[in-house]
Structure 1
Amino acid sequence: MMLISPDQALTILTEVFREVFDEESLVLTLETTADDIEEWDSLNQIKLIIGCEKAFAIRLKPREINGLQNVGEMVDHLVRHFSGT
């Protein structure tokens, strides 16, 4: 099983977010939420999920991601997923 560090996860997530929001200068932090990005609506939420699934070659279940409050929680979820815990 592949392991991924929090920094690696954040780097990949940043690329996904930049593509979805078409904003090359977008900077994510672990505290970034949907409220911080004006264009982050329900349609872009779906695009983010699909982009993450492609970028990380995983399948995300709605129940796993619906409760995530910020980018940091997504990073934690991805690190746990790849560590098998």
Structure 2
Amino acid sequence: MTQSEIIAQLQPIFDDLFMDKVELTPELTANDVEEWNSLLQISITLAVEKHFGIRFRVGEVEATKSVGDFADLIARRAVGS
């Protein structure tokens, strides 16, 4: 799965979790979105694990800096699960 394909699948997850529309791009970071806090990050992580049928290791998600990094991590976990 490509980064673009993963981001396209992430969009509806973000649409469900955020009150305001967040247009996902590979460069987007949590700092760019006022609503994106640590509690919402937990919800995002759980929803992504469920959607993609993967489990993240401790610290993996926190190490990502952008949506593109997160998509790349999802791709690696999906292949390595």
1:60 aligned to 2:56? yes
Equivalences for 1:2-41 in 2 at 5 Å?
Answer: 4-23=1-20, 25-41=21-37
Q: Which has the higher contact order (CA 8 A, sep 6+)?
A: 1
In structure 1, the residue corresponding to 2:15 is in which secondary structure?
helix
Structure 2's unaligned 5+ residue stretches are none
Secondary structure, aligned partner of 1:66: helix
Query: Normalising to structure 2: TM-score of the pair?
Result: 0.86
Q: Percent of counterpart pairs with the same letter?
A: 34
Q: RMSD across aligned C-alpha pairs, in angstroms?
A: 1.7
Provide, for residues 9-36 of structure 1, a one-character-per-residue CA deviation record: whole Å limited to 9, x for no partner.
101111111111134x421100110111
Moved more, 28-37 or 14-23: 14-23
Aligned-partner SS, 2:24: coil
Question: TM-score with structure 1 length normalisation?
Answer: 0.83
Residue 76 (structure 2) aligns with: 80
Structure with greater helix share of residues = 2
Give the distance between the partners of 1:68 and 1:20, measured in 2 at CA: 19
